[in-house]
Amino acid sequence: ETGVTQTPRHLVMGMTNKKSLKCEQHLGHNAMYWYKQSAKKPLELMFVYSLEERVENNSVPSRFSPECPNSSHLFLHLHTLQPEDSALYLCASSQDLLSGGSTDTQYFGPGTRLTVL
Amino acid sequence: GQQVMQIPQYQHVQEGEDFTTYCNSSTTLSNIQWYKQRPGGHPVFLIQLVKSGEVKKQKRLTFQFGEAKKNSSLHITATQTTDVGTYFCLINDYKLSFGAGTTVTVRA
């Protein structure tokens, strides 16, 4: 599946580094999402964008900064991360925003495996 | 906030046996979706249930939505090694919420 791509696939960074994760969807969708998946924890929704506007921010620390320059691209800028931020970061998209009992479905990218040293 | 509880967290199954995973909500749901994540992979959409009492089948997988639309189940018959992975349910009435997932391992 190449509908949603993420780069890089793996990233190792120190706590003082600044890096960015990139997500691109080729499906013509209007909504994009960032999730964090840690070992033995449910998928945690971080940010939601609909038509390039942020519609949800789930109490995510400010060291994570999302950016959605257009409906096809989503970035997650990282700075001064902590070791507990090590996780799989998944991007997803859907045709329209999933809320209010929407029957739309999400398409996930392969994820970026992040390790913070 | 709205949450969905998923059980069991782990399911270790003998190849050829059946098993079921459940998702339960305290509130009535508009719909529920199921996703599967293979080891090292990403979640992939399996199915969506919308109607009360709805039952849908995909080969050896049977998905059911409760009559009260508060719970759902995924039943797999004659488990195969290809069924290995984590199965998640997703609800979105008020806020997107994934269940914790049931991680399935299969012994040959």
HSE, CB side, 13 Å, CA atoms: give it for residue A93. Answer: 26
Which amino acid is residue A100, in one-letter code? Answer: G
Q: CB–CB of B92 and A111 under 8 A?
A: no
d(CA B12, CA B14): 7
Q: Is the dihedral of CA A94, A31, B22, B17 positive or negative?
A: positive
Q: CB–CB of B48 and A101 under 8 A?
A: no
> Which one, of A76, A87, A85, lies nearest residue A24 by Cα?
A76
Mean pLDDT of A33-50: 92
The tens digit of pLDDT for each residue in A42-92 reads 899 999 999 988 887 778 999 999 999 999 999 999 999 999 999 999 999
Chain A residues with beta carbon closer than 8 angstroms to that of B48: 103, 105
Helical ranges in chain B per DSSP H: none
A-B contacts (CB, under 8 Å): 55
The tens digit of pLDDT for each residue in B4-49 reads 999 999 999 999 999 999 999 999 999 999 999 999 999 999 999 9
Of the candidates B41, B94, B100, the beta carbon closest to that of A42 is on B100
**Contact in structure between A81 and A115 (CB atoms under 8 Å):** no
Mean pLDDT of A95-115: 92
Is residue A83 classed exposed, middle or buried when 0-12, 13-18 and 19+ CB atoms within 10 A define those classes?
Answer: exposed
CA angle A32, A111, A35 (to 5 degrees): 50
Across all residues in chain A, what is the average pLDDT? Answer: 93
Using CA coordinates, name the residue in chain A closest to B47.
Answer: A105
Res B2: pLDDT: 63
Neighbouring residues of A101: CB distance < 8 A, sequence distance ≥ 6:
B29, B30, B31, B92, B93
What's the gap in Å between the CA of B74 and the closest CA on chain A? 18
B34 forms beta bridges with B47, B89
- Would you call A30 an interface residue with chain B, using a CB distance cutoff of 8 Å? no
Statement: residue B1 has pLDDT above 60: no
Q: Which residue has the tokens 């900064």?
A: A65
- Would you call A5 an interface residue with chain B, using a CB distance cutoff of 8 Å? no
Of the candidates A43, A102, A111, the beta carbon closest to that of B98 is on A43
